[in-house]
Each structure stands twice: as C-alpha cells, then as structure tokens.
C-alpha cells in the first residue's frame, strides 16, 4: 500500500516516550507518524517512528513489529538506515532510527537526475540489499520514497518496517492483502507467497525503470489491478534511447525469481558490464519527472543553435543536490547539467516528441581578450564551480568560456601568470579529490570521468594518471 507522507502541525498532546525528547513532526502515513526527537542518553537526534493506534491495537501486528524490528536493528551497513531502538510504552509502539536529513529519492527524481547518477543510486541500494539479504532479511518495500540521502550524498535504504526474516514461513498480511506497495511488488509478493532477496531485486528493477521513464511500468484502476499486472503482464520495454539497458530490466523484472540475478552483488557486476556501453550522448542528459516536461522539450527544440561554440546544457540542474561537497562520493558523479557535449552529439527532440530528457541549446559568449578581464572571469567561474551547489559547473566546459579555457587564454597572453597557474592547479585539485573519493567508494565510472577531466587540465598530474589507471583496471575486472 502506498504510504502518503504529509507534514503535520504538531506533536499529539500527551505523547511521551521514556528516554526521548520529541522536537517536531517529520511526517505521517497510514501506518505510522515520524518525529524528530533527541535520544537523551546519548544526546543524539533520531527519527522516531510511532505506530498508528489502529495497528497498535492488532496484537499479531505488534508482535511481528517488535520481532522483525529487532531483526533489522542488527543490520549495520553504510547503505542501510541504522535502527537504534524498538520498544513499546503504555500501548505506544515505536522505533528509533538514524535521522537522515538529505531528502528522498522521490524528491530528487522530480527535479532531475542524469543517467549515471541513476545507475549509481541503484548500485548503492543493491549494495545495501546484498548486506541485508546476507543477514537473512528481505526488505519487501523498495521504492523511491524509502531511499534517503545523507549530507555527503550516501544513498541509504530506509523503512524496514515490513521486512521479514527470510527463514520464516509466515506471510505477512494486513486486511487480507500482502504488505508492500503494489507499484513495486514482485509477482510472488503480489500472490502472497513467501519471498526472498530476489523479490527486492524485482522492486529495484521497477524503480530503475521508473527512474529512466518517469513512471512505474504498470498502471491500473486500483491497487489490485496493478498487482495483477506484475503477475500477468510482460516485462516492459524501454524506449529506444535506453535499449542498451533493456537486458538489465529483463533480468531484474523476470517473472520467475530463478531468472533474476542471484544477489545484489551479482546484479552490480552485471550492470557494470552494460554500463560500459552507455552512449556518450546520455552521460550529461537529465531525466526529469514533472508535469512540465513536454513543454520544456518543445521549447528546447525551437531554440537556435548559435554557432559551433554552442553546447547542450541541462535546463534542470537542481540546487539541492549535495553531492559535490568535499569528500562526497556518489555525489560527485556527473552532476546535473555540467557534463556538456557538442551539439552534434545530442539532437534536440522534435516538437511534440515524448522523452524524459530535457536539454536546451545555449550560446557561449566570446572570450574577452584583455588579460585582467580574462583572469577575473576565470576566477569568477572557478569560485562558482567550487560551490557545493554548483557541482563543478563552468570549470572545464564550455571550452572557451570555462575557467580552464579562460586561464589557458590568459597564459597565451602572459605565460608566467601566477594567477592563471594557481587557478589551473585548483581545478586539477578539484577533480583529483573527487576522483580519489569515487575510487575509494568503488564508483569506478565516476572515478574514471573525474580523473579524465583533471587530466584535461594537467596531463602530467601523476595522481590523476594513477587514479585513471586504477579505475580502468577495475572496470576491466582486473
């Protein structure tokens, strides 16, 4: 069942739980309300999830809530939310978990993600699932609203509230239906059959399809019709521009569990092989999921291509992405709107064409000739690109008007310009730091991209050469 989150106006009168000081509401759904609270013994903020009174009156459900909550509390992994405590007090059942403030994947989908970002998010979720499945726990409700982001960009799978141990024989039901969200249910889960980790991988495939297309694969007049579609309808077909990922969707969303990858780890290995086939033109395109997409595409197609200096730049780079802060990993990958390619490599959509990628052509101003003006503009672009919210924008693209291009033009006028030399070093340092972080987090494609960008600035940087080699060897499976 889909849980709709709404912000509430305050904390219910009389709600007190020993050891916790409730600060404010975070959201509410049909099954629980969530509050920001302080765990007083450790003086740390937690997300306190309080079960609804209706469910708390169901003895079978509360017993399962406590039993399965204790199972998930044993999970400790960077891509899984940490559960600190689960208990009841005077008929109130609650769970205290790690408070993660970076928002949900659903929110980020609505603003825009590049294809590489989408794939890296899916990989991190798969890594969390691999750990949970290895501990004998299946999530059973993998969906965008349950994917959260930490401040450094780490992807975290949350809400194991309906998880179950894979070695138990019972099938959890509520009001006669399988617990979960119909849009993402595996066929076996929709039938109310026992599930294992491969059911979560099916849901991951549904989520990947939605991230690429903008909506889940199956529609229906009611939740039962959607669940039935997962059982009876064929695996959905991706549009031609994403056909290189069709085998991935086919595997994840196979009707029979035995036809899916054996584990999240096996899926990540398969995805790495297909990722190497990604069309270059898709690296910087932004997939958006909003009602204004069609109009944006039509408007983009009518813009003139000013000259050979025209570059394609996303119209939808959201300011909320925290991924470019120092030390961010996934975050640092291929930020929305700043991997830009020549216009000839990405053709604008024809008016009325249906697509999930919004691009627009913008002309780059001619470079100024005065040395001081060159350096001033270059330094302004450098400072702009270094801000966490701008994700490296204006550092190396467009070629003539980026910080890199302007510093290089300044050196042509004054080969010994200390300001230009220092500026170029700062750009190279920027990419070296991000490449190193990506490599350390095994985000090999991102590491390779960042190292290559840094070598555009300084081809002699040995640390960048080493990082590039490390990523290339990893991608080859060496």
Q: Which residues are catalytic?
A: 141
Q: CB under 8 Å to 317, separation ≥6 — which residues? A: 112, 286, 335, 336, 337, 338, 391, 393
Radius of gyration of the chain (CA): 24
Please report where in the chains the tokens 């190497």 appear, as a residue: 276
Q: Is the dihedral of CA 346, 352, 353, 359 positive or negative?
A: positive
- Distance (Å, whole) CA 153 – CA 156: 9
Q: What kind and span of H or E run contains 34? A: strand 32-39
Q: Could you tell me which of 110, 102, 21, 114 has the C-alpha nearest to residue 391?
A: 114
What CA–CA distance (Å, rounded) separates 307 from 366? 11
- Distance, in Å, from the CA atom of 159 to the CA atom of 31, rounded to the nearest integer, reads 12
Q: Which one, of 90, 91, 29, 87, lies nearest residue 58 by Cα? A: 91
Identify the CA nearest to 166 among candidates 143, 193, 205: 193
Cβ contacts of 400 within 8 Å, gap of 6 or more: 309, 364, 366, 367, 406, 409
Report the C-alpha gap between 270 and 342 in whole angstroms. 30
Determine how many CB atoms are found less than 10 A away from the CB of residue 478: 7
With beta carbons less than 8 A apart as the criterion, state whether 467 and 439 touch. yes
Indicate the burial class of 177 (C-beta count within 10 angstroms; 0-12, 13-18, 19 or more).
middle
Q: Which of 262, 272, 147 is nearest to 207 (CA)?
A: 147
Q: How do 20-28 and 32-39 pair as beta strands?
A: antiparallel
| Alpha carbons 398 and 311: distance in angstroms, whole number | 7
- Distance in angstroms (rounded) separating the CA atoms of residues 52 and 33: 7
In sequence order, the β-bridge partners of residue 47 are 36, 97
Give the pair of three-digit tokens for residue 23.
């600060």
Pair of tokens at residue 175: 């009001």
């Amino acid at each position: 069942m889909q849980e709709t989150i709404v912000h509430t106006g305050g904390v219910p009168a009389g709600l007190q739980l020993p050891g916790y000081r409730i600060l404010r509401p975070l959201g509410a759904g049909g099954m629980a309300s969530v509050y920001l609270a302080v765990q007083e013994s450790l003086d740390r903020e937690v997300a306190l999830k309080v079960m609804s009174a209706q469910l708390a009156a169901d003895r079978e459900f509360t017993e399962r809530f406590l039993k399965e909550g204790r199972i998930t509390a044993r999970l400790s992994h960077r891509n899984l939310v940490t559960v600190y405590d689960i208990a009841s007090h005077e008929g109130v059942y609650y769970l205290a978990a790690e408070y993660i403030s970076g928002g949900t994947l659903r929110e980020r989908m609505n603003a825009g993600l590049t294809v590489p970002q989408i794939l890296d998010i899916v990989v991190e979720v798969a890594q969390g699932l691999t750990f949970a499945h290895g501990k004998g726990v299946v999530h059973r409700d993998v969906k965008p609203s349950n994917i959260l982001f930490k401040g450094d960009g780490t992807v975290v799978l949350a809400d194991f509230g309906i998880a179950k141990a894979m070695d138990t024989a019972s099938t959890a039901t509520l009001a006669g239906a399988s617990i979960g969200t119909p849009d993402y249910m595996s066929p076996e889960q929709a039938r109310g059959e026992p599930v294992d980790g491969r059911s979560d991988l099916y849901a991951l495939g549904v989520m990947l399809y939605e991230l690429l297309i903008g909506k889940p694969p199956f529609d229906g007049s009611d939740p039962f019709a959607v669940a039935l579609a997962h059982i009876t309808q064929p695996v959905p077909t991706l549009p031609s521009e994403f056909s290189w990922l069709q085998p991935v969707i086919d595997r994840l969303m196979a009707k029979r569990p035995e036809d899916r990858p054996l584990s999240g780890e096996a899926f990540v290995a398969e995805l790495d092989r297909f990722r190497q086939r990604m069309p270059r033109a898709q690296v910087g395109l932004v997939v958006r999921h909003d009602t204004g997409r069609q109009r944006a595409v039509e408007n983009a197609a009518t813009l003139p291509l000013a000259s050979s200096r025209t570059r394609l730049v996303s119209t939808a780079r959201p300011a909320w992405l925290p991924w470019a802060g120092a030390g961010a990993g996934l975050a640092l990958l291929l930020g929305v709107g700043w991997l830009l390619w020549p216009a000839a490599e990405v053709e604008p959509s024809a008016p009325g064409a249906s697509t999930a990628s919004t691009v627009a052509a913008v002309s780059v101003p001619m470079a100024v000739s005065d040395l001081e003006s060159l350096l001033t503009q270059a330094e302004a672009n450098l400072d702009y690109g270094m801000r966490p919210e701008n994700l490296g924008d204006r550092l190396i693209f467009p070629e003539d008007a980026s910080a890199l291009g302007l510093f290089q033009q300044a050196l042509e006028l004054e080969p010994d310009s200390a300001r230009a030399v220092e500026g170029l070093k700062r750009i190279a340092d920027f990419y070296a730091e991000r490449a190193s972080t990506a490599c350390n987090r095994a985000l090999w494609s991102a590491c390779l991209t960042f190292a290559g960008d840094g070598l555009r600035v300084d081809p002699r940087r040995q640390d960048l050469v080493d990082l590039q080699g490390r990523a290339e060897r990893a991608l080859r499976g060496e």
